[in-house]
Amino acid sequence: MAGIDFRALRCEVGMDAVLRLLRFVPSRRHGEQLRGACPVHGSRRPESRSFSVNLAKNAWRCFHCGLAGTQLDLWAAATGQPLYQAAIDLCERLHRPVPRPPHPRIISTARQTRTSSANSS
């Protein structure tokens, strides 16, 4: 099982993309802050405001079910998948490659290069 660079994925996929996939319709909007029915616990009333999302911070919280997190956490919770599987699913639905972490050998080589150049100064 190949690793996923979750940090890169959070930078590449915004909250707005996840909300579009979930067909979220806000009942209120104030700048980058949206309120509406929670896509996780399935609020029945469309005018509900228990779900709050900040598009600029890629963060959400439901004041009814108590869940909160990033756009990846939202996708995982709304689809009922573990985070790893949800990240792959999200990339597939958005037709994006899954970001993979740099190879460990590349990282250790880069560290060795920085350390040896710092010692030679």
Q: What's the pLDDT at 75? A: 96
Domain coordinates in residue numbering, the chain: 6-119
Q: Are the C-beta atoms of 13 and 110 separated by less than 8 Å? A: no
- Residue 98 sits at the vertex; the CA angle it makes with 93 and 102, to the nearest 5 degrees, is 170
CATH code that applies to domain 6-119? 3.90.580.10
* pLDDT tens-digit readout, 71-114: 999 999 999 999 999 999 999 999 999 999 887 655 555 555 56
The pTM score is 0.78
